[in-house]
């Protein structure tokens, strides 16, 4: 297979800008950088990692909170490029208050 992994094909709604900012703020984006890791294997995606939408768009899904910048489909689950398992998008954002965040 290729290096990309299809995201959840379920239909979604365009993400609300307010919700996106909440997600990004919760993830610490804008104040020291995002803390994103696979909730299953703890792989951390880098800025060069890419996901592909069913519409063919290829982008870094964590820059948009899981929303495709081309068709505005919002992906509620994200596949891990390391362990190839699926997790809810929001579970990827490591929160400082998480007990398993590494302190
Ligand atoms: Zn798309
Ligand atoms: Zn993983």
Q: In whole angstroms, how far apart are CA 86 and each of 8, 21, 25, 76?
A: 8, 23, 23, 10
Rounded CA gap, 26 and 5, in Å?
A: 26
Q: How far is the CA of 92 from the centre of ligand 2 (A)?
A: 10
- Res 89: pLDDT: 96
| Number of the ligand closest to the Cα of 79 | 2
- Res 35: pLDDT: 86
- Res 17: pLDDT: 67
- CB-based burial label for 56 (10 Å; 0-12, 13-18, 19+): exposed
Rounded CA gap, 12 and 9, in Å?
A: 9
Residues for the chain: how many in total?
103
Q: How far is the CA of 41 from the centre of ligand 1 (A)?
A: 26
- Res 103: pLDDT: 47
Q: How far is the CA of 13 from the centre of ligand 1 (A)?
A: 12
pLDDT in tens, 26-60: 665 544 455 899 999 999 999 899 999 999 999 99
């Amino acid at each position: 297979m290729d290096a990309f992994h299809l995201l959840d094909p379920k239909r979604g709604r365009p993400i609300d800008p307010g919700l996106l900012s909440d997600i990004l703020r919760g993830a610490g984006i804008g104040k020291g950088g995002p803390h994103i890791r696979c909730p299953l294997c703890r792989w951390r995606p880098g800025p060069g990692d890419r996901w592909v939408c069913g519409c063919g768009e290829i982008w870094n899904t964590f820059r948009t909170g899981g929303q495709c910048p081309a068709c505005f489909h919002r992906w509620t689950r994200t596949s891990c490029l390391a362990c190839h398992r699926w997790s809810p998008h929001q579970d990827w954002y490591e929160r400082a208050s998480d007990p398993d965040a590494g302190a």
